[in-house]
Structure 1
């Protein structure tokens, strides 16, 4: 199939790294691995983070104009007509302003991956964008979810004949190679004692959920008995860095902020650490959690969103209620006191990632679901 791909929240070729950009790229790769001809249909970013109806109206007009041009180019033969439109990540702050119109006018299936429905936004400053998201879901022939907790709220929004399926978040390049010397190399680089358990946190430092996750992590570390040995390495940067630094000020001798790191450096950090610790405030599922498990790291995280679809509590990691610093601290302390358990969880997590979260396995599932639309 020739597939027009669009990500209204963040284009897969956007310059700033994020989990959304990563998943958009992975989806395009998975579709291509299934034998499909995938092209980026638009880079229009429809996000309104402030709840500005005037901005939403202006973006809607831009989307309508783009849809008109796209359809005209297809009908005139300037570009080959796609067999299917595929949009990634729809929600009230970033509705799809292009795909539904194009799919309807060209008579092709409209497919959505990762959508959310926020009924509380039916009134208020995002009401128009919320309704546009509902309209898109009502037109969708197929909605693909990566978070099993989304289905009860999203599936009822589908129209007659619409289908909802769950697939697991996934990674490319599995199985990951393991570097046995990474831990000693990083400890030597940062001046950390060889017998000190090494914690890792990975997250952008932007206001909102990410900063709140850092705050909960800092709070949890303050609740661990003072005689426990540990060091924390943080990979991430952003406008909220001063707040993060302030949160960890009581632990400054034990905390190493590395700033933004590239993919190779991040892979090295996963290989070097003993435990991935991330409270996961308002997390959809958490690509860093999956990457950590694929690298053999046990994960301590918050029981929120689709995180349990990746981290199996007691089997590949430990989960605590969202934003509960005391419970998070207990899980951290449990592994700090039992590093053999930490290693067992890490081995199990790596096995799960390799068996259930590879790009190749998901590519086959996506291909079967899309081929069914052509029948």
Structure 2
């Protein structure tokens, strides 16, 4: 049975009662009496002590711990906050064949974000120079799509100063928030490692900076294979959260050949899982394929732009929670979509006419929000 912590008003009343009963001949409860002021001070101190004891009790269990105590509980299960990571990719410039650009050369994005070349590169016969760059500051802000405008930090003779991103600059992730860390920590306590179970692969994928959701499909590409699907909802929000790269296995796997080695985000995840996985498994790190679901809703033709945006966000939330790239019998429940929309003010009387039934999850495809038609 939980202990009912007394409120400040309760404590003041108790102290006042003790003063009155202890000094029956003195009126210690007058507004400006010394006893009245002293009693309130004592009650306030007691209230602070109760608060401190309550805080201590919360830090004593993983479910309610916070701050450094939350991290300490996580460390007991070998779960640590994800540090921010810097994005990397390739930028192409034009120049005179034979000109060399040294490692450490600064490249500047159109918004003044800076990147640094990681190795020396030479302008090829086709007047093309490809340099591998890494963002100088870690975080999601370094992620840059193909075609992003880049400029050399200092002019180099024989190389045009303006270039563009030709291999998506990705892999940048912000410091993990306590809310996300709490979820991973709690999952570690609830799911005991089983030497390569489905949950183990999901846990290993979620340890990678930027990964927010993951799913495991045993024997997905045949006996002895394990397919891990991942999403980077925050780090890759510009791409709908989908990993940017090529599906495949870890470059550290001695069974790897160039044709089946992952690239980009998928390679980062595959290499991280490889350290933990059983030696017999061939693990493929894959990006789900977006499967947009179109909705038709009647009764909301007069809804405002703000209301329609809230409806879209509500549907996306249900798809986020229930969508999965697995053929495991799960589905996106239309009743839950309806409940989410009903919680929005001004949506009374709507009817979802399409889809007409629950949307089953399918292997390799992740349900996303398609076009919403208001009929």
TM category (shorter chain) comes to under 0.3
TM-score w.r.t. the length of structure 1 is 0.26
Choose between structure 1 and 2: higher strand proportion. Answer: 2
Q: Of the two structures, which has the highest relative contact order with CA contacts closer than 8 Å and spacing of 6 or more?
A: 1
Could you say which structure has the larger radius of gyration? 2
TM-score w.r.t. the length of structure 2 is 0.26
